[in-house]
Amino acid sequence: MFDSSASFVALRHRNFRLIWIGLLVSFSGSMMQNAALLWHVSLLVSPARKGLALGLVGLVRVVPVVVFSLLSGVVADVWDRRRLMLFTQTAAALNALVLATLAFRGLSIAWPLYALAALGSAVGAFDLPARNALVPTLVPREHLPNAISLNTIMFQTASVVGPAAAGLMIAATSVGWVYFANAISFGFVIAALLMMRDLPVRERGAAAASDDISLHAALEGLRFVFRSPLIRSTMLLDFFATFFSSATALLPIFAQDILQVGAEGYGWLYAAPAAGALVMSAAMIPLTEQIERRGLTLLWAVGGFGLATVVFGLSRSFWLTFFCLAMTGATDSISMIIRNIVRQLETPDRLRGRMTGVNMVFFMGGPQLGELEAGAVANWFGAPFSVVSGGVGCLLATAWIALATPMLRHYRRTPAEPIIVQPVPPLPAPAIEGHETDSTAAAPIAVHRPHRSSHSP
């Protein structure tokens, strides 16, 4: 029988609960700013250059990721991850405040937006490995799949709320207030990090003791990823699928020129993928541990992502477009959860930052370079052709990876892998100093710890 309390078991650990709530607010602000930045750029360039100008946003964001990905992963593995996040969150807040100041003063050229987008991406290149390496240490290993599912639904909730709020705020006020709201949102993560206590001590074995910020340490992470067939194949699938099907940068063109729905309609279209992902993420919380054929599920999900993109490019109806975008989010949510479970469970803690650093090139490089590709094709052949051809490219890339990687096609949850049904600690009472449940206290006793084969996530 399904135990509904097990769907939220990771939130019973105080430190994870704090960062989860803080990131929910912060991600909402960041999604508001992402939507506002594209809209802002579209207003500052001529109609003939709009597609390419929007695509350039992706290019300036991906360059810092490529430059800093290996270094940032090593830094996350060597430095204190909480302190590193405090620095990156503060820097991101200052970046948003500069954007707000420029907007309030009536910015008339686009290049400062590109420069600040690149700076924000550089900060994020150091924040993401630290965050992804910190979170798995806040819950027991047996609760990690649940924590990943909850993080996914948190991110998708923010992705719905943020763009929709941005569209309404832009229509009612200006983009400057969106940037300012994002700057405030980072304070919630900073507060959560400062409120954490009793963080687990990181174990440093013989190999970890020799880690430092060096080329050797960076290359160790790179070798680990490319010698792990499952991790490598999921990253390649992520990159090629998002490279061909990243049409988010073209949404201002669809909203303004094709569907003619204005700023409010743009906000809802931008939020549509996350709306679909939110619904699917909620369904995946109890279903994640039930999926046996995870490899095939991943491949079919990415194929559905490409198909929905094709129909989106052909649509001239607002509601059909909204539905197709929502389906891209729903299918991507399935893919994201399965990919993250594989990567987190198959990566040693001392290499998690470096694994995330390498992964950044794939999962951030794909969409951002894809936006540049989509903008260039839209500039030459029109936005609808750009979207449709990208969806076809996603389908072809998925088929190629499926045929080239039998291990991924046959990958499944092993029979020995348990579905967690053991008792969990009761929800804590309202915050009383010294009485909250955290990730190191009241951990449930595992009924069975299976032997994990090389094919087990």
Percent of the chain with pLDDT strictly greater than 90: 24
Reply yes or no on whether the pLDDT at 436 is more than 50. no
Q: What is the mean pLDDT of residues 307-332?
A: 92
- The label of the residue with tokens 């990159």 reads 239
CA distance 114 to 96: 13
Where does residue 14 rank: exposed (0-12), middle (13-18), buried (19+ CB within 10 A)?
buried
Reply yes or no on whether the pLDDT at 217 is more than 90. no
| Three-class secondary structure of residue 379 per DSSP | helix
Q: What is the pLDDT of residue 403?
A: 87
Give the pair of three-digit tokens for residue 367: 């969409």
Question: What residues have CB less than 8 Å from 323, skipping those under 6 apart?
Answer: 272
Q: What is the pLDDT of residue 392?
A: 92
Region of poorest pLDDT, from 99-108, 377-386, 397-406, 412-421: 412-421
Per-chain mean pLDDT for the chain: 79
Give me the torsion for CA of 23, 29, 32, 33, rounded to 10°.
Answer: -110
Give the pair of three-digit tokens for residue 273: 């993928």
Reply yes or no on whether the pLDDT at 207 is more than 50. no
- The model's confidence at residue 177, banded by pLDDT at 50, 70 and 90, is very high
pLDDT higher at 267 or 432 = 267
pLDDT higher at 267 or 431 = 267
Of 181, 173, 193, nearest in space to 130 by CA: 193
CA distance 116 to 99: 7
Region of poorest pLDDT, from 77-81, 143-147, 212-216, 284-288: 212-216
Give the pair of three-digit tokens for residue 395: 């389908």
Q: What is the pLDDT of residue 204?
A: 52
pLDDT higher at 37 or 208 = 37
Q: Which helix (H) or strand (E) segment is 111 a member of?
A: helix 111-134
CA distance 18 to 196: 7
Reply yes or no on whether the pLDDT at 427 is more than 60. no
